[in-house]
Chains A and B, each alone.
Chain A
Amino acid sequence: MLVVVAPLLVLIVTSFAHGWFYPRVLPSSFDVSAWADLFAIGAHRDALMNSLSLGVATAVVATALALPLGRAAALSPRAVRRTIALLAFTAVALPPVALGVGLQLSVLSLGLGGTLSGVLLAHLVPALGYLTLVFLGVFTRWDARVDETAATLGANGFARWRLVLIPLLRRPIAEALALGFLVSWAQVALTLLVGGGAVRTLPLDVLAMLQAGQDQRAAVGALALTIPALIVLGASRAAARNTPAVVA
Chain B
Amino acid sequence: MPRRTALPLLIAVLLLGAPIAAGIGYLIVGAFAGADAGSAGSLARILGDPGVHRSAALSLWIASAGTLIALCVALAITLLLDGNARVDRIVRTLAVLPLPVPTVAATVAVLLLLSQSGWLSRVASTLHFMSMPSEFPALVYDPLAIGVILAVVWKEMPFLLLVALSLQSLRGTVLADTARTLGATPWQVVRRVTLPLLLRGMAPSIIAVFVFVLGSLELPLVLGPSSPLALPLLIQERRQALDAVLHGDAYLIALLATALALVAALAHEWVRDDAA
Contact = CB atoms under 8 A, between A and B. Distances in A.
Interface of A: 1, 3-8, 10-11, 14, 21-25, 65, 69, 72-73, 75-78, 80-103, 105-106, 121, 125, 128-129, 132, 140-141, 182, 185-186, 188-189, 192, 203, 206-207, 210, 215, 218-219, 221-223, 225-226, 229-230, 232-233, 247
Nearest to A205: B104
B5 interface: yes
A95 B215 contact: yes
Contact of A98 (B108, B122, B258, B274): B258
Contacts of B7: 72
B54 interface: no
Interface string B237-262: 00100000000000100110110011
A185 B112 contact: no
Q: Looking at chain B's contact residues, is the secondary structure mostly helix, strand, loop, or mixed?
A: helix
Contacts of A89: 208, 265, 268-269
Contacts of A6: 113
B222 interface: yes
Contact of A101 (B91, B218, B254): B254
Given A86-B269, A93-B265, A102-B25, A128 B15 contact: yes
Query: For A7, A72, A141, A188, which residue has the most chain B Cβ atoms within 10 angstroms?
Result: A7
A98 B27 contact: yes
Contacts of B231: 95
B115 to A, nearest CB: 9
Contacts of B262: 90, 93
A247 B171 CA distance: 13
B154 interface: yes
A185 to B, nearest CB: 7
Contact of A186 (B12, B103, B117, B170): B103
Contact of B100 (A101, A128, A230): A230
B8 to A, nearest CB: 3
B122 A23 contact: yes
B215 A22 contact: no
A98 B255 contact: yes
Contacts of A10: 109, 112-113, 118-119
B44 interface: no
Contacts of A106: 19, 22, 26
Interface in B146-180: 154, 170
6 contacts: A90-B261, A102-B19, A192-B217, A210-B108, A229-B100, A230-B97
B41 to A, nearest CB: 22
A183 to B, nearest CB: 10
A22 B117 contact: yes
B42 to A, nearest CB: 17
Interface string B27-40: 10010000000000
Contacts of B215: 93-98
A101 B13 contact: no
B52 to A, nearest CB: 15
Nearest to B253: A98
B104 A232 contact: no
A97 B257 contact: yes
